[in-house]
C-alpha cells in the first residue's frame, strides 16, 4: 500500500484488526502475537489522529473487544459498560499519561499498581450474596453468558462471606479468569498424550476452557480467578478509594491478587513495573504488564472516560515474549551427552528485546505433537532467560504441499545410529567419540558458569576441532599463539585475548571446574557442595561412592555419577592434562597448604593425641588426600592411634599397606612420606 494512500491503509488495518479480533476473542486461536496486534492498532490510531476524517464509527479504535458469540452462549447486557484500558509501552508513555491527567485534576495522586494477568476478563454478579451470573466482556456492552462454566471455578465463591449489614444487595465484580502455568503444562501434557491439539499459552487454554458447552470440561481444567474491580454495587458500604474496594472484595471472600501495591508517585509506579518485568517468571500465572489506577474515587470521577477506556487507569505493557515468523528448516543438534535435539531455523525475528534465529523443538514427540513443518509460519516464544522455543504453527498460514517432519535415524555429525530408548522422550547418538559430542563438551567447559573462557564459543571450538588442535578440554591449555594465528578469522589481538582468557580460567574455583567437566547430574549447586565437602579435585576423585554419598548435600545419584566419571581412564587422562597445565584443583575452604597427599587415601583408626578424628580427616583432605572409612587395595597408608580397629589392622597387613603411628602421620602430612 502506497504511503500516500492513508484511506486505503486505514481500511486495510481495520480489516486486519477485525479479523484478528475474531480469531482472538471468538475462536481462541490467535494468528499473531499480542504485540503484533497492538502494533496494528497503534498504527491505525496514529493514522486516524493525523487524518480525523478517516475515523469511522465502527473503527476498532472506537470499540472494545469483539461482538459476543451468541450462537453458543446467551447474550448478557452488562449492568455497566465493561471498558478496556489504554496502553503504555514505555515509561515515557506512562509519564505522558500522568501529564494528561493534570488537565483534569490537581493535587497529589496515589496510584494502585496491579499485575495485569493474562487471562479472560470476566464479570461476576452476586445478588444478596449469592453467585447469580458470569459473563465475558464481549464488545463491552453485551457479553456471553458463561454462568455454568464459571460456577465450576473453585476460586469463585458460590456465596459471599457474611458481611452483616454491609452485604450489598448486588455486587458485580470484574476480574480475570486465568489458568495457572502449572495447570497449563499439565493440561498440554494430557492433550499431547491423547493426541489432541496443544494450547499455545495459558490464556488460550483459559479461553478455550471457558468456551465449552459442557461445564464438566471446564470443571476439569483447573481455572482460577482474581477480582480487581467493582463493576456495579447496590447497597453495601461506601468506599472512597480503590484500595478500599479491593479490601471489600477480600472481606467478601473473593480472591484478590496479593501483589497489589498503593504508591504515591509515578517513579514508584516505574519501580513496581521494573520489579515485575524482572520477576514475572517467578509467578505461577502469566502477566503481560501492570495496570496502574488512580486510587481516589473522587479524582476518578473528575477524570471520567473516553468512549473506550477510563482516563484514570492505564495498562503498562511489558515487551512481547512471542512473535510469529517463518520456519525455514528443522535440523538436529548433538549435545555433549549425545542427546539429539531438533531445532528450528527461523527467519530472524525480534522477541523479548533480542533477535531470534534458532529455537528449540525439544524432542521428537514435541515436533510430532506440534506438527511444525518447514515453510510454516510459527509462533516463537522467549520467556526470560529461557532458550527460545517454537510454540506451534499458525495453521491458517500453512502453505500447500508441506509434509510432517521426520526425525532422522542417523547422527547428522558422525552418521552413527540415533537411538531412542523405550519409554524415553530423548534420542541419543550412540557414538561416544562423535565429534559433535566432543565439541559440545569443550564448548560447555569454556562456557559461563563453568570455566568462562571468553572467545571460546561453539564456533571457535568447531574450527579448533576440525584442525585437530583440540580433542578434549585438556588440550585447550596446550594451544599456542602459532596454532591460533594460523586460523581464519583470527588476528593478533583476538589470539592474545583468547590466550589470556584461557590463562585466566586456570584460577577458576573448583566448583566451576567440576561443572565444566560435564559430569552427569552435577550442576552448579552439586559442584559447590562437592567442592566444599572434599576440598580438592583429588579428594573427590579418590573418594569411594559411599564417601561421596555420605557428604552432606550429595545424594546417591550424584555420588554414583561422580564415581563412574573418575573411574574412566579417559577422564583421568583429561584431569592429568589439566593438572599439568596448572588449573586450580583446590576447593574454597582449603588453606594454603602443600598438596603432599594429592590423590592418596589414608585410613585413620584409633585415638590420636594431637588430632580429633575429624581433625585428622580434615588435615588429610587439606593436603589433597582422602580418608575413606575402610582399608582397601587403594589405601596408601593406615594411621593407627591408641586402641585401633583390629579389622583395619588385619586388612592392612593382608594387603601390605604401611601402618603409621602419630609421628609418622605428622611426617606424612608435612612431606608426603612417613
Ligand atoms: O482489562 C483489565 C485488566 C486488569 C482491566 C483492569 C485490570 O485491573 C487489574 N482494570 C480495569 C478498570 C479495566 N480493565 C477496565
Domain extents in the chain: 6-62, 75-317, 322-407, 435-581, 601-671
Residue 404 scores a pLDDT above 70: yes
What's residue 591's pLDDT?
A: 56
User: How many beta carbons lie within 10 A of that of residue 430, not counting itself?
Assistant: 12
Tell me how far the alpha carbon of residue 177 lies from the centroid of ligand 1, in angstroms.
Answer: 12
10-14, 24-28, 90-94, 472-476 — which is least confidently predicted?
Answer: 24-28
Residue range 323-328: mean pLDDT, rounded: 94
* Residue scoring higher pLDDT (611 or 417): 417
- Chain mean pLDDT for the chain: 90
What's residue 308's pLDDT?
A: 80
What's residue 384's pLDDT?
A: 66
Closest CA to 311 of 12, 633, 88: 88
Closest CA to 112 of 307, 318, 310, 253: 310
287 ligand 1 Cβ < 6 A: no
What's residue 2's pLDDT?
A: 43
> Cα Rg for the chain, rounded, in angstroms?
33
Fold of 322-407: OB fold (Dihydrolipoamide Acetyltransferase, E2P) (2.40.50)
Closest CA to 538 of 475, 626, 469, 612: 626
With a pLDDT cut of 90, the percent of the chain lying above it is 61
26-30, 138-142, 525-529 — which is least confidently predicted?
Answer: 26-30
Q: pLDDT tens digits, residue range 122-148?
A: 999 999 999 999 999 998 999 999 999
Residue 1 scores a pLDDT above 60: no
Tell me how far the alpha carbon of residue 332 lies from the centroid of ligand 1, in angstroms.
Answer: 44
114 ligand 1 Cβ < 6 A: yes
Superfamily for the 6-62 domain: Helix hairpin bin (1.10.287.610)
192: phi > 0 → left, psi -120 to 50 → alpha, else beta; which? alpha
* Residue scoring higher pLDDT (355 or 409): 409
Superfamily for the 75-317 domain: DNA ligase/mRNA capping enzyme (3.30.470.30)
User: How many beta carbons lie within 10 A of that of residue 320, not counting itself?
Assistant: 21
Residue 65 scores a pLDDT above 80: no
Q: pLDDT tens digits, residue range 359-369?
A: 999 999 989 98
What's residue 71's pLDDT?
A: 75
What's residue 411's pLDDT?
A: 96
Tell me how far the alpha carbon of residue 65 lies from the centroid of ligand 1, in angstroms.
Answer: 13
123 ligand 1 Cβ < 6 A: no
What's residue 665's pLDDT?
A: 92
85 ligand 1 Cβ < 6 A: yes
Show the cell assigned to 213: 458447552
120 ligand 1 Cβ < 6 A: no
Residue 52 scores a pLDDT above 90: no
The helix/strand/coil state of 247 is helix
Show the cell assigned to 560: 554414583
What's residue 619's pLDDT?
A: 82
* Residue scoring higher pLDDT (654 or 588): 654
Check if 116 is active-site.
yes
What's residue 3's pLDDT?
A: 52
What's residue 326's pLDDT?
A: 96
User: What is d(CA 80, CA 129) in angstroms, rounded to the nearest whole number?
Assistant: 19
246 ligand 1 Cβ < 6 A: no
Residue range 196-221: mean pLDDT, rounded: 90
Catalytic member of 63, 116, 317, 651: 116
- DSSP per residue over 3-62, as a string? TT-HHHHHHHHHHHHHHHHIIIIISS--SS-HHHHHHHHHHHHHHHHH-GGG--TT-GGG
Tell me how far the alpha carbon of residue 174 lies from the centroid of ligand 1, in angstroms.
Answer: 8
Tell me how far the alpha carbon of residue 100 lies from the centroid of ligand 1, in angstroms.
Answer: 19
Mutate to test the pocket of ligand 1, among 117, 291, 310 (most ligand atoms within 8 A of CB): 291
What's residue 385's pLDDT?
A: 65
Show the cell assigned to 540: 573427590
Indicate which residue's Cα is closest to atom 1 of ligand 1: 84
Fold of 435-581: DNA polymerase; domain 1 (1.10.150)
Query: Please, which residues bridge with residue 174 across strands?
Result: 123, 229
Domain 601-671 bears CATH identifier 1.10.357.20 = no
Write a three-state SS string for 301-361: HHHCECCCCECCEEEEECCCCEEEEEEEEEEEEECCCCEEEEEEEEEEEEECCEEEEEEEC
User: How many beta carbons lie within 10 A of that of residue 268, not counting itself?
Assistant: 15
Amino acid at each position: 500500500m502506497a504511503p500516500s494512500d492513508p484511506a486505503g491503509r486505514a481500511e486495510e488495518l481495520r480489516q486486519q484488526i477485525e479479523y484478528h479480533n475474531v480469531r482472538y476473542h471468538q475462536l481462541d486461536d490467535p494468528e499473531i502475537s499480542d504485540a503484533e496486534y497492538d502494533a496494528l492498532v497503534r498504527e491505525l490510531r496514529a493514522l486516524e489522529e493525523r487524518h480525523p476524517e478517516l475515523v469511522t464509527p465502527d473503527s476498532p479504535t472506537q470499540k472494545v473487544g469483539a461482538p459476543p458469540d451468541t450462537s453458543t452462549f446467551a447474550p448478557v447486557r452488562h449492568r455497566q459498560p465493561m471498558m478496556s484500558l489504554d496502553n503504555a509501552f514505555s515509561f515515557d508513555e506512562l509519564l505522558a499519561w500522568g501529564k494528561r491527567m493534570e488537565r483534569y485534576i490537581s493535587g497529589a495522586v496515589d496510584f494502585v499498581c496491579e499485575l495485569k494477568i493474562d487471562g479472560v476478563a470476566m464479570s461476576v454478579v452476586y445478588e444478596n450474596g449469592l453467585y447469580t451470573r458470569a459473563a465475558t466482556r464481549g464488545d463491552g456492552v453485551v457479553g456471553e453468558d458463561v454462568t455454568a462454566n464459571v460456577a465450576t471455578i473453585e476460586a469463585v465463591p458460590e456465596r459471599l462471606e457474611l458481611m452483616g449489614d454491609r452485604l450489598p444487595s448486588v455486587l458485580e465484580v470484574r476480574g480475570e479468569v486465568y489458568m495457572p502455568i502449572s495447570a497449563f503444562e499439565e493440561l498440554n501434557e494430557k492433550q499431547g498424550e491423547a493426541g489432541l491439539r496443544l494450547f499455545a499459552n495459558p490464556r488460550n487454554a483459559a479461553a478455550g476452557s471457558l468456551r465449552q458447552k459442557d461445564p464438566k470440561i471446564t470443571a476439569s481444567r483447573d481455572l482460577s480467578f482474581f477480582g480487581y474491580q467493582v463493576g456495579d454495587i447496590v447497597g453495601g458500604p461506601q468506599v472512597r478509594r480503590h484500595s478500599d474496594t479491593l479490601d471489600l472484595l477480600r472481606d467478601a471472600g473473593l480472591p484478590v491478587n496479593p501483589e497489589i501495591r498503593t504508591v504515591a508517585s509515578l517513579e514508584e509506579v516505574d519501580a513496581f513495573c521494573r520489579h515485575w518485568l524482572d520477576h514475572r517468571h517467578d509467578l505461577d500465572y502469566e502477566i503481560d504488564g501492570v495496570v496502574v489506577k488512580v486510587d481516589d474515587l473522587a479524582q476518578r470521577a473528575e477524570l471520567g472516560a473516553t468512549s473506550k477506556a477510563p482516563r484514570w487507569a492505564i495498562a503498562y505493557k511489558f515487551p512481547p515474549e512471542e512473535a510469529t515468523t517463518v520456519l525455514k528448516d528443522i535440523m538436529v543438534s548433538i549435545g555433549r551427552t549425545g542427546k539429539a535435539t531438533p531445532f528450528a531455523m527461523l527467519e530472524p525475528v525480534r522477541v523479548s528485546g533480542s533477535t531470534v534465529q534458532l529455537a528449540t523443538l525439544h524432542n521428537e514427540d514435541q515436533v510430532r505433537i506440534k506438527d511444525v513443518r518447514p515453510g510454516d509460519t510459527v509462533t516463537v516464544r522467549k520467556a526470560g532467560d529461557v532458550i527460545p522455543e517454537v510454540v506451534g504453527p499458525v495453521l491458517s498460514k500453512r502453505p500447500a504441499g508441506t509434509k510432517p517432519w521426520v526425525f532422522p535415524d542417523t547422527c547428522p555429525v558422525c552418521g552413527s545410529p540415533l537411538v531412542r530408548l523405550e519409554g524415553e522422550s530423548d534420542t541419543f547418538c550412540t557414538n561416544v567419540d562423535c565429534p559433535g559430542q566432543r565439541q559440545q563438551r569443550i564448548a560447555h567447559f569454556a562456557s559461563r558458569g563453568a570455566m568462562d573462557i571468553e572467545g571460546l564459543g561453539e564456533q571457535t571450538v568447531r574450527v579448533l576441532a576440525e584442525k585437530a588442535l583440540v580433542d578434549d578440554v585438556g588440550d585447550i591449555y596446550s594451544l599456542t599463539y602459532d596454532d591460533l594465528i594460523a586460523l581464519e578469522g583470527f588476528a593478533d589481538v583476538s589470539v592474545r585475548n583468547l590466550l589470556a582468557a584461557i590463562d585466566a580460567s586456570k584460577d577458576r574455583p573448583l566448583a566451576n571446574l567440576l561443572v565444566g567437566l560435564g559430569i552427569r547430574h552435577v550442576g552448579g549447586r552439586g559442584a559447590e557442595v562437592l567442592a566444599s565437602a572434599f576440598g580438592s579435585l583429588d579428594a573427590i576423585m579418590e573418594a569411594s561412592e559411599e564417601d561421596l554419598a555420605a557428604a552432606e548435600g550429595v545424594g546417591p545419584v550424584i555420588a554414583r555419577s561422580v564415581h563412574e566419571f573418575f573411574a574412566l581412564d579417559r577422564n583421568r587422562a583429561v584431569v592429568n592434562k589439566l593438572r599439568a597445565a596448572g588449573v586450580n584443583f583446590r576447593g574454597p575452604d582449603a588453606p594454603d597448604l602443600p598438596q603432599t597427599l594429592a590423590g592418596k587415601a589414608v585410613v585413620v583408626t584409633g585415638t590420636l593425641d594431637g588430632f580429633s578424628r575429624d581433625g585428622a580427616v580434615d588435615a588429610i583432605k587439606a593436603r589433597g588426600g582422602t580418608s575413606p572409612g575402610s582399608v582397601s587395595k587403594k589405601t596408601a597408608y593406615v594411621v593407627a592411634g591408641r586402641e585401633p580397629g583390629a579389622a583395619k589392622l588385619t586388612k592392612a597387613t593382608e594387603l601390605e599397606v604401611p601402618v603409621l603411628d602419630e609421628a609418622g602421620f605428622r611426617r606424612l602430612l608435612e612431606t608426603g612420606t612417613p
